[in-house]
Structures are given as C-alpha cells and as structure tokens.
Structure 1
Amino acid sequence: MARPRTINRERVMECAEQLVQRDGAIALTLDAVAREAGITKGGLQYCFGSKDDLITALIDRWITAFDSEVQKHTPPDASPADKARAYVQACGQLDDATRTRIAGTLITLLQSPDHLKKIRDWYANWLTNDVCHSDEARQIRTMIFAAEGAFFLRSFGFITMPDAEWHAAFADIQKLMLPKEAARPSKT
C-alpha cells in the first residue's frame, strides 16, 4: 500500500503567492492554487479548508515573518521609539518580490471584512502604546505611516527609485523620531 502523500503547507502558500504575483489577485482560486502546487483541490481543501482559510494562513505567515524581522532590529528593553525604528527598518528592507507578493494578495483582503479586521488589529497593536497621546506617540505614528505609504507606493508601482535612494528615504523616516529631550515642550 502506498504511503499517503504529505502536503507542504509552506510550499502551497508560496505557490499561492506566486500565482497572485504573476496573474493578479483575481487568479487566487482553489483550483488554480492546487494546479500551481501540483496537488488536488481536495488535498488543498484538506490542508486549508477554504479560500478564506488559505488567505488567513497567508496573512498569519506575513505577520509572523514581518514581526520576526522587526524583532531582529529591536534592542533588548526597547522603548516604543526603538520598536518604531525597527519597524521602519524592516519595512525598508523588504525586497521587490516580497513587496509585490504582499501588495497583490492584500488586494484580496478588500473582499473580506474578517481579513481586514485581522490586519486592522495588527496595525492597532503597532499604533497603540503606553504613551498614546504624547508627542512621542505622534512621532511613532508618523514614522509608521510614512514607512507604510512608501511601501505601498513602491509596491503598487506608483513610484520607482533605485535601491540606494529607497534606503536613504527609510533612513530619513527613522530620523523623524526626535530624542526624548527635544520632543518635550520647554518649561519657560
């Protein structure tokens, strides 16, 4: 008797991302993903259940990978500002293929309030902190908005720039955070 074939979930998600990158978000169907991955539609459904479950797995994968990358750039005992700088650094270091894959699949999120909620909750974690209404918090929010805006402008092809200029722009974004002493209003 033949041993049952094991389906590699990571490989299936890579195939789904490649499909979206190559053919657009509209191409993300269970049939197309199964064909791309070289498995049966039944095998795909066994692994992921539904298209929504596959998209949820993709979102979870990106969040985990991005958060892990941010963590690599976050010093021990990091302040909210340190974490924001690490976020900006991680965002600026995503390669073209990753940006395209993420942006293309994010388009599919517009079809599902549940998927949007997952992303909103993730952003809320980044944009809410202990000093929520301070100058520092506003600077953190501005840094994250600038990084995300640049990310989406480049990912959707609205702007093009050489890598050196891209990295310089992200270095400038990181400078938006003033030292704590400079951010405090003077007591005169």
Structure 2
Amino acid sequence: MGRRKTINREAVLDAAENVIANHGSSGLTIDAVAKAAGITKGGVQSCFGNKEMLVEAMLKRCLALYDVQRGFQEETPISVYKELLSHINITADTCDNNNSRAASLMAALLQSPEYLTSVQYWYAERFKHLSNAEGEEGTRARLAFLATEGLFFLRHFRLMQIDAQDWERYFQDIREILPEKL
C-alpha cells in the first residue's frame, strides 16, 4: 500500500504565478497549473477547489508578502509619511521577478469583477490618508504615490522599457518629491 503524497500548496501557487507570467492571465487554467507543478488537475483542485479559489489564494499570498515587507503591524499607528515611504521602497526594491508576478496577478484579477473590488479596496486603504493631506505636502505625497504606481505598471505591463539604472533613478526622483513629513 503506497503512502499518500502531500502537495505543497506554495509550490502550486508558484506554478500558477509562473503560468501567468509566461502565458498571461488567459493561460491560467487548472490544467496549465497542474502541468507546471508536475501534479494532476485533481491535485490542484484538492488544494484550491477551482480557479477562482486559486486566484484568491494567490492574491492573499501577494498581500501577505507585501505586509511582511512593510514591517508594520496594522494595529501600530504609523505616520502617513512612513507608510508612503515604505510603499515606495517596497515597490522600488522588490526584485523584477516578484514585481512582474504581482503585475501578472493584477492583470488576472482585473478580469473578474469580484477580484477588482478587493484590489480597489487595497488601493483605497493605501490612499485614504493621502487624499486628506492638505497643502503642498499633500500634493507631493499624492504625486509620489501615483508616480510609484504608474512606474510599476509601465514597467511590468511592458508598456515602457525601463532598465535597472533608470528604475533606480526614477525612484530617487520620486523620493525627492516626498514631503519631509505629513
């Protein structure tokens, strides 16, 4: 009698992210993920149920990684400036592979209205304090946030070729427009 194999959920999520990165969001199928992970379709379904639950798990993992990179606990009050600087640094410093996977995941999420809502909520949470900031400092903070997001999408949706040197230079420009504090 054979021993039952256990499937590594993280490895399946890695395979799903690779499928999106290599074949686009339209290539994300249970079959494609199974082949990429070297398991059966039933193995993928036993881990995640269906494609929607797989995408949801990918989103949760991506957001959890972001929170770990932020290094702040939700209960700990931090300044708007520190939160913004943390977001800018995470976006600038995250390796291309992680950022392109995040962009690919975003593309998959945007195809489905129920996931679009969760992405909109995430952005609303990141932007809520910036939208109320007044004066030149508020304007500069909003521009820094929007420039960070724009730069991310331009590079990782392959709308603009941005090499590593320019990437760092543009993020230095963004950091320079940040207000001293908020």
**TM-score interval (norm. to shorter):** 0.7 to 0.9
Cα 1:140–1:172 shift into 2, 3 Å: same
Would you say 1:62 and 2:62 are equivalent positions? yes
The 10-residue stretch of structure 1 (15-24 or 159-168) with the greater mean CA deviation from structure 2? 159-168
Aligned-partner Cα distance in 1 for 2:104–2:180: 37
Deviation at 1:120, TM superposition (A): 1.0
Deviations 1:41-84 (A, max 9, x none): 11211110110110011111111112221227xxx863111110
Identical pairs, percent: 34
Corresponding residue for residue 33 of structure 1? 33
Would you say 1:126 and 2:126 are equivalent positions? yes
The 10-residue stretch of structure 1 (26-35 or 168-177) with the greater mean CA deviation from structure 2? 168-177
Deviation at 1:105, TM superposition (A): 2.6
Corresponding residue for residue 186 of structure 1? none
The 10-residue stretch of structure 1 (170-179 or 32-41) with the greater mean CA deviation from structure 2? 170-179
Q: Which AA in structure 1 matches 2:103?
A: A
Deviation at 1:104, TM superposition (A): 2.0
Aligned-partner Cα distance in 2 for 1:160–1:13: 28
Aligned-partner Cα distance in 2 for 1:7–1:140: 44
Structure 1 vs Structure 2 CA RMSD:
2.1
Would you say 1:174 and 2:158 are equivalent positions? no
Aligned-partner Cα distance in 1 for 2:37–2:80: 41
Aligned-partner Cα distance in 2 for 1:162–1:100: 14
Cα 1:130–1:123 shift into 2, 3 Å: closer
Would you say 1:141 and 2:142 are equivalent positions? yes
Deviation at 1:114, TM superposition (A): 1.1
Q: Which AA in structure 2 matches 1:70?
A: R
The 10-residue stretch of structure 1 (168-177 or 49-58) with the greater mean CA deviation from structure 2? 168-177
Contact 2:141/2:179, CA 8 A, preserved across alignment: no
Contact 2:16/2:36, CA 8 A, preserved across alignment: yes
Deviation at 1:130, TM superposition (A): 8.6
**Unaligned regions of 5+ residues in structure 1, if any?**
184-188
Q: Which AA in structure 2 matches 1:173?
A: I
Deviation at 1:142, TM superposition (A): 2.0
Deviation at 1:99, TM superposition (A): 2.4
Matches within 5 A, 1:50-129: 50-71=50-71, 78-129=78-129
Deviations 1:118-137 (A, max 9, x none): 11111111111398242344
**Unaligned regions of 5+ residues in structure 2, if any?**
none
Contact 2:130/2:141, CA 8 A, preserved across alignment: no
Contact 2:130/2:142, CA 8 A, preserved across alignment: no
Compare CA radii of gyration and give the structure with the larger one. 1
Matched position secondary structure for 2:78: coil
Contact 1:19/1:28, CA 8 A, preserved across alignment: yes
Contact 2:12/2:37, CA 8 A, preserved across alignment: yes
Deviation at 1:102, TM superposition (A): 1.9
Deviation at 1:172, TM superposition (A): 1.6
Corresponding residue for residue 19 of structure 1? 19
Q: Which AA in structure 1 matches 2:162?
A: M
Cα 1:55–1:131 shift into 2, 3 Å: closer
Contact 1:70/1:89, CA 8 A, preserved across alignment: no
